[in-house]
């Protein structure tokens, strides 16, 4: 029996070597008329992909002067927690963990505030909460931590985000300094004010004052145009709060629904009148640095299989993350090192990235990073960056992610991959790669006139 079965299989294989019969000569044996692999490309999808189904933020407002100056971290976080759950209709008890980036808030107190915020948002006590602090990348680190936990199978649904209340928690060093720091040059760099590191980048890499002011003016113009066009509406959750009059202590109920730091009338000339802040005859000013800001953001994540089960559209796919170390005295160069690392981990090249959200801690370092990597500036911060919008340290990574993913969604087929990146105080950089959420390739698709595509994955 085994011998006859083998002979039958051999007979079938042998037929593959027969000459083409006369009645088959009209069939084409050429490549597909649509080109290489036809007019579509299948997307690499998997049920265990970590996807983002909601990414929202509060408005970003000026510390000490803006609309959220009297709003605490609990109310900021509760607002975005509740919003992402309500918009997706995900039951709060489904959350496996909540991870929140925070930098300046007192450590144990801020951890408690995040827990309290979860209760304010209607999240039950069975859902745990923790904080993470990797300086300016804390919000992005929170997203990476949740993505890693979901990928490892610790849970299926998680909430990441960040918060900063710079009105009530200004940047400061608490306590003494270890006297042995003088023995370690790199450690000394950790003690430099961030503005001094900006001056170091400008001096070392030749980024002059005019270049920085031009970069800053562009940030404001782009943010003003985006604001006027309503591009931030889908990502912003209005905050019902109160504003206190510093003279009378009178509290007035308000609803804050827009960013308040954007100056659409900023020009190179007006920025050029501002004095240097960190160094005599320096180039770093209040106008070409990020704004000190209050705000929060939240990102709801789960497996692709879970999103499909719930019928939730995928806003984006988390593809890779990298955190790197650099010289603390020029910490602003972090994105120039972190971005290539994250892009390589995603199996991509820089040219594959369609949109970059690079935090503008300072114009000097943001310009340097873009220029060093040879990135087309048209791809960078198309809706303005932290110079115009603000930099609430612990929330920035999550805020940038929300802005990136909503921008990619608006672009449709014109944007498949995006990057979020920032420099990090004490000498680091971080970056993450995201993919747009559709099920077919929105970039490589090309129409073929007169041809009917046979795959359900094909889109023209």
- Catalytic machinery residues: 136, 391, 423
Q: Where are the beta strands (DSSP E) in 226-281?
A: 239-244, 251-256
β-strand pairing of 316-325 with 98-101: unpaired
Strands 355-358 and 417-424: parallel
Query: 50-57 and 293-303: which strand pairing?
Result: antiparallel
d(CA 279, CA 293): 23
Backbone angles phi, psi at 411, to 5 degrees: -80, -20
Neighbours of 301 (CB within 10 A): 28
Cα separation of 241 and 451, whole Å?
A: 58
Sequence-distant (6+) residues with CB within 8 A of 325 are: 427, 428
User: What one-character-per-residue DSSP string does 308-330 give?
Assistant: HHHTPPP-EEEEEEEEEE--GGG
Spatial distance between the Cα atoms of 410 and 418, rounded to a whole number of angstroms: 13
Residue 129 has φ and ψ, to the nearest 5°, of: -140, 140
Which residues make beta-bridge pairs with 419? 356, 433
Q: Given the structure tokens 């944007």, which residue do they identify?
A: 415
Beta strands in 174-233 (DSSP E): none
User: Residue 340 and residue 365: Cα distance in Å, rounded?
Assistant: 16
| Residue 199 backbone zone (phi > 0: left; psi -120 to 50: alpha; other: beta) | alpha
**Contact predicate 72/167, CB 8 Å:** no
The dihedrals phi and psi of 160, each to the nearest 5 degrees, come to -120, 160
Residue 131 in contact with residue 359, Cβ under 8 Å? Answer: no
Going from the C-alpha of 40 to that of each of 409, 444, 445, the distances in angstroms are: 19, 7, 5
Quote the tokens at residue 308.
Answer: 């499909």
Cα gap 252→241, rounded to integer Å: 8
CB atoms within 10 A of CB 116: 17
How many CB atoms sit inside 10 A of residue 89's CB? 9
């Amino acid at each position: 029996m085994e011998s006859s079965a083998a002979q039958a299989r051999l007979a079938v294989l042998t037929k593959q070597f027969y000459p083409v019969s006369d009645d088959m000569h009209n069939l084409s044996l050429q490549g597909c008329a649509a080109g290489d692999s036809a007019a579509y490309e299948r997307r690499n999808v998997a049920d265990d992909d970590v996807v983002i189904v909601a990414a929202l933020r509060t408005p970003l407002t000026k510390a000490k002067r803006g609309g959220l100056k009297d709003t605490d971290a609990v109310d900021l976080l509760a607002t975005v927690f509740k919003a992402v759950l309500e918009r997706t209709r995900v039951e709060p008890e489904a959350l496996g963990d909540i991870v929140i980036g925070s930098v300046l808030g007192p450590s144990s107190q801020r951890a408690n505030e995040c827990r309290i915020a979860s209760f304010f948002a209607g999240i039950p006590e069975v859902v745990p909460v923790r904080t993470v602090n990797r300086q300016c990348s804390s919000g992005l680190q929170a997203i990476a931590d949740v993505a890693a936990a979901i990928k490892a199978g610790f849970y299926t649904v998680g909430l990441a985000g960040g918060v900063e209340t710079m009105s009530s928690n200004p940047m400061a060093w608490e306590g003494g300094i270890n006297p042995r720091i003088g023995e370690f040059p790199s450690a000394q760099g950790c003690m430099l004010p961030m503005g001094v590191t900006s001056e170091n980048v400008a001096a070392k890499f030749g980024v002059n004052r005019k270049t920085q002011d031009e970069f800053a003016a562009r940030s404001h113009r782009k943010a003003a145009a985006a604001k006027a066009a309503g591009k931030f509406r889908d990502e912003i959750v209005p905050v019902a709060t109160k504003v206190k009059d510093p003279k009378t202590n009178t509290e007035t109920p308000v609803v804050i629904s827009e960013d308040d730091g954007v100056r659409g009338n900023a020009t190179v000339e007006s920025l050029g009148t501002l004095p240097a802040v960190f160094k005599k005859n320096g180039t770093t000013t209040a106008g070409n640095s990020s704004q000190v800001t209050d705000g929060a953001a939240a990102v709801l994540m789960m497996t692709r299989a879970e999103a499909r089960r719930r019928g939730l559209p995928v806003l984006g796919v988390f593809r890779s993350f990298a955190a790197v170390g650099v010289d603390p005295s020029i910490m602003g160069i972090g994105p120039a090192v972190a971005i290539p690392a994250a892009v390589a981990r995603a199996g991509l090249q820089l040219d594959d990235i369609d949109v970059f959200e690079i935090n503008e801690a300072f114009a000097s370092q943001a310009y340097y990073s873009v220029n060093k990597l040879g990135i087309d500036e048209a791809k960078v911060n198309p809706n303005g960056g932290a110079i115009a919008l603000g930099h609430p340290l612990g929330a920035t990574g999550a805020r940038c992610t929300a802005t990136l993913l909503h921008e990619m969604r608006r672009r449709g087929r014109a944007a498949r991959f995006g990057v979020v990146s920032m420099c990090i105080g004490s000498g680091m950089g971080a970056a993450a790669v995201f993919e747009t959420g559709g099920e077919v390739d929105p970039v490589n698709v090309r129409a073929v006139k007169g041809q009917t595509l046979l795959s359900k994955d094909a889109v023209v």
